[in-house]
Structure 1
Amino acid sequence: MNPNQTCRVILAEDHNLLREGLRELLVRMPGVEVVGEAVDGREAMRLASELLPDLVLLDLSMPRTNGLEALKEIKRVNPRIKVLVLTVSKAEDQVYAVLQAGGDGYVLKDTSSADLFAAIRSVLAGERYLSPAVATVVVGLYLNSKDGQAVRPTYDVLSDREREVLKLVAEGHRSKEIAEFLCISPKTVEKHRANLMVKLNVHNISGLTAYAIEKGLVSA
């Protein structure tokens, strides 16, 4: 990070209290300017496209479009923008999916402010940063792979639409509500839900909800 250059940051976090706390931390970091704040993934994508920040600090579990899909779109539109994921989840599926999508860093929310600053500096310097606990997960993925090729976790085989449906189901929305939100038919929602149960090897809504919480898609 160039000490003579201001780093422009967008905060994407749907919990107001946490977002405000992160903002207060960042304004104390020399050379950092918070230029935008998003409360969901769709707004994060819009702001990234309009403001062209140096860095997006991105939560994975957000309404409307989730953080992972926002990450993919931000990188697709402008690969130059660094994206540092900040989440509670260190599940293998999530870590793998973020790295595959081009995430520049993966930091757990229980990290210290000093470690968060270190992560931001590393990412802006062109390095990839992983919280120690996440690095352990990545090593495990590699050791459990064949011929050095990472295994493809279950979450990664879900389609984008299935992930949207999974998150909305876990948030407690009924099929009709999900259909209206996604502009699809209730019958299509039921089909996606059935496919999710097969792919994830769960047998009811409670199982889908538990899986979504485990992967950090929704808060418990």
Structure 2
Amino acid sequence: MTRRSSEIAPLTILMADDHPMFRGGLRQVIESQPDLKIVHETGDGQDALRMALQLKPKLAILDLDMPGKNGLELAAAIERERLPVRVIILTMHREEDLFNEAVDLGVLGYVLKDSAAEDILHCIRAVADGQHYLSPAVSAFLVNRRTRAESLRRAKPGLADLTPAELRILRLIARNKTSKEIADELHLSIRTVDNHRFNICTRLELHGVHSLVKFAFDHKSEL
């Protein structure tokens, strides 16, 4: 075995931010680490998605505000396409609703742009290992989220009886997905999805499609 083939492959990263100066500074931080490799950088969300589909990097570091597609739309597309790409949002935004939307989409890292370089590198390594990493300034949002989730489970004990498939479908309903869209995403028949929806209504004592959709949407960040 040659030395080259025995070396550990670098951690591949796609970087998307529409501010070239910030992107250049971030590139310097990342490239200071010999085991990290930027395989593509762009200022356009649509280009980022195209290259994520093509390159399938380990990580995608995304700004929220970009032309083409914003960071949340990109995260949603990565989840929808079932790409093996873990997402970090790197942003100036401190709003709790944006944080919750990102977490709902499976984002593991949420870091503010004024974070120290060491924090960004810690985030990259934590997310690469499948862990969550949040800037301290937004960590309280996660506590709030968990507190609300615990309160909801006390108010709706039937949530504990949902199967993993039913809970996933409930979360997709919360994202305003139709039965057909859920069926396509989960590779199920529409009839199977509708059966799951019926079972969810029964367990949660909800009456009718509208009450299910309202419950899911109202409690999206607690599910």
User: Residue 105 of structure 2 aligns to which amino acid in structure 1?
Assistant: A
User: SS at the partner of 2:152?
Assistant: coil
User: SS at the partner of 1:119?
Assistant: helix
Cα distance change, pair 19–139 in 1 and its aligned pair in 2 (3 A)? same
Deviation (angstroms), 1:59: 0.5
User: Residue 94 of structure 1 aligns to which amino acid in structure 2?
Assistant: L
Alpha carbons 1:83, 1:104 under 8 Å: kept? yes
Cα distance change, pair 31–137 in 1 and its aligned pair in 2 (3 A)? same
Q: Which runs of 4+ in 1 moved over 4 A?
A: 156-159
State the distance in 2 between where 1:11 and 1:5 align.
18
State the distance in 1 between where 2:35 and 2:82 align.
22
Cα distance change, pair 72–157 in 1 and its aligned pair in 2 (3 A)? closer
State the distance in 2 between where 1:142 and 1:119 align.
21
Deviation (angstroms), 1:157: 7.8
Cα distance change, pair 120–80 in 1 and its aligned pair in 2 (3 A)? same
The answer for the alignment partner of 1:49 in structure 2 is 53
Structure 1 residue aligned with 2:95, among 84, 91, 97? 91
Percent identity of the aligned residues?
Answer: 35
Structure 2 residue aligned with 1:147, among 133, 140, 152? 152
Alpha carbons 1:92, 1:141 under 8 Å: kept? no
Alpha carbons 2:56, 2:84 under 8 Å: kept? no
The answer for the alignment partner of 1:6 in structure 2 is 10
State the distance in 1 between where 2:143 and 2:44 align.
31
The answer for the alignment partner of 1:114 in structure 2 is 118
The answer for the alignment partner of 1:72 in structure 2 is 76
User: Residue 59 of structure 2 aligns to which amino acid in structure 1?
Assistant: L
* Unmatched tracts of structure 2, length 5 or more: 1-6, 155-173, 178-223
Please identify, of 138-147 and 64-73, the stretch whose mean Cα deviation from structure 2 is larger.
Answer: 138-147
Structure 2 residue aligned with 1:15, among 19, 30, 42? 19
TM-score, structure 2 normalization: 0.63
User: Residue 114 of structure 2 aligns to which amino acid in structure 1?
Assistant: D
Deviation (angstroms), 1:117: 0.6
TM-score, structure 1 normalization: 0.63
Alpha carbons 2:13, 2:40 under 8 Å: kept? yes
State the distance in 1 between where 2:38 and 2:113 align.
19
The answer for the alignment partner of 1:24 in structure 2 is 28
Report Cα offsets for 1:103-137 as digits up to 9, x if no partner: 12111111100011100000001111111111112
Report Cα offsets for 1:37-70 as digits up to 9, x if no partner: 1212111111100111111111011112111001
State the distance in 1 between where 2:56 and 2:148 align.
38
For these two proteins, the number of residue pairs brought into alignment is 151
Structure number with larger C-alpha Rg: 2
Cα distance change, pair 27–105 in 1 and its aligned pair in 2 (3 A)? same
State the distance in 1 between where 2:153 and 2:110 align.
21
RCO comparison, higher one (Cα < 8 Å, 6+):
1
Structure 2 residue aligned with 1:138, among 139, 142, 152? 142
Deviation (angstroms), 1:140: 2.4
User: Residue 133 of structure 1 aligns to which amino acid in structure 2?
Assistant: A
User: SS at the partner of 1:72?
Assistant: helix
State the distance in 1 between where 2:153 and 2:52 align.
34
User: For the aligned residues, what is the CA RMSD?
Assistant: 2.2
Pairwise mapping of residues 67-216 of structure 1 onto structure 2 (< 5 A)? 67-144=71-148, 146-147=151-152
Alpha carbons 1:142, 1:148 under 8 Å: kept? no
* Unmatched tracts of structure 1, length 5 or more: 150-155, 160-220
